[in-house]
Structure 1
C-alpha cells in the first residue's frame, strides 16, 4: 500500500472517530426532562328515577262511574348526577277491543313542591283521553317537554296528580283498559 493510500485511510479512520465522538458528545450533552401526570380517571354520570310506591299500579278501579274518579298522587324522585329532563308518557294501552280508551280522560298535573302533602303549584301536563295520550307516547312526545329539568345536585322530588274522568256514555259500561305510566330521565 502506498504512503498516500495509507494517509487517506488513516485520515478516513480519524475522521470517522472524530465524527462519532462529536455525535456521542452531542447526544451525551443533551438536556432532558419529563413531566408525568398520573392518576387520571373518568367516572360517568348517571340518571336515576324512583317513586314512592315502588312501581305499583296507581289505579285498579273496578267500579268507575261517569264523572271524575278517585284522584291519585305519586312522588317521583330524580337523584342522578347529571342535569336531566324528566318526561312522563303512557305506554302499552290495551283496550281489549273496546272503547274505554276513547271514553276515559286523564288529567295529569305536576306539582312545583316536593311531596303530595306539599305539592306547591300544580301545572297541567295533560288532559286528554287515554287513547290520545297513548297515541303520542314515547320520549319525543312526552307530556310538556322541558317542564322538569333537575340539575343533578342532589335528590329532587316532584308530586304528580292523576284524575280520571269517565264520559257519561253507555258505551263505557263493562269496558276495560290497561296501560302503563313511564317516567323517563335523559341527561341534557
Structure 2
C-alpha cells in the first residue's frame, strides 16, 4: 500500500511539473527594401569634348555644358572627378586649365547661377570620389538635374605645341 501511494504521489508530482502556462504573439509581414542611387547625363555617356580638341590654339576654348540627373530615391552626395588621365608623356595636362562650374538651374538652357567648383590645371583635378568636386546633395525625393559647364584654356607656351591629353570625367553618387 505504501508503495502504491508512493507511485500515485510521484505521478501527481510528475504531472504537475509538466503543467505550464504559455502564450505567443506573431508580428507577420516584415520585409526590407533598399534604396538606390542612379545617375544619367544628357550625353548618354559620350565624351563631352569628342571631336572638339584638335588643332586648338592657345587661349580660352569654347565651353561645353552637360546635364547630370540624379534619379535615386535616397539622399546622396554627387561628386565629379577625373579618371584615366593620360598625358602621353607630354605636358598639356599641366598647361591646360579647366574651369568647371555647377549651375543652380536644371538645364544648360536654364542654368541658373553658375558656381565655380574648379579652375586649375587638368593634372590638379581630383582623381577619386573621396577628393571629388561636390556641392550637390540630392535628397532622393524626386529626380534632380544640374548643368555643369566646362571651359578649357590652353597656356600660351611653346611646350604644348602638338601635345595631347585625354581623360574621363566621372560623376559618382554615394548614399549617405
Please give the TM-score of this superposition, normalised by the length of structure 2. Answer: 0.93
CA shift for structure 1 position 56 = 0.6
Structure 1 residues not aligned, in runs of 5+: 1-6
* Compared CA separation, residues 14 and 72, structure 1 to 2 (3 A): same
Q: Deviations over 1:32-68 (max 9, x none)?
A: 4332222211111111100001011111311211111
Kindly state the Cα deviation for residue 21 of structure 1 after the two structures are TM-superposed.
Answer: 4.6
2:69 maps to which residue?
A: 77
Q: Report the equivalent of 1:12.
A: 6
Runs of 4+ in 1 over 4 A off after TM superposition: none
Residue in structure 1 matched with residue 153 of structure 2 by the alignment: 165
What is the CA RMSD across the aligned residues, in angstroms? Answer: 1.4
C-alpha deviation, 1:175, in angstroms: 0.7
How many residues are paired up?
174
Partner of 2:122: 130
2:165 corresponds to 1:177: yes
Q: Which residue of 2 aligns with 1:156?
A: 144
Moved more, 74-83 or 57-66: 57-66
User: In terms of Rg, which structure is larger?
Assistant: 1
Asked if 1:42 is matched to 2:36, the reply is no
Post-superposition offset of 1:163 = 0.3
What TM-score, normalized by structure 1, do the two folds share?
0.87
Question: Which of the pair is proportionally richer in helix?
Answer: 1
Check if 1:121 corresponds to 2:109.
no
Quote the Cα distance in structure 2 between the aligned partners of 1:131 and 1:94: 10
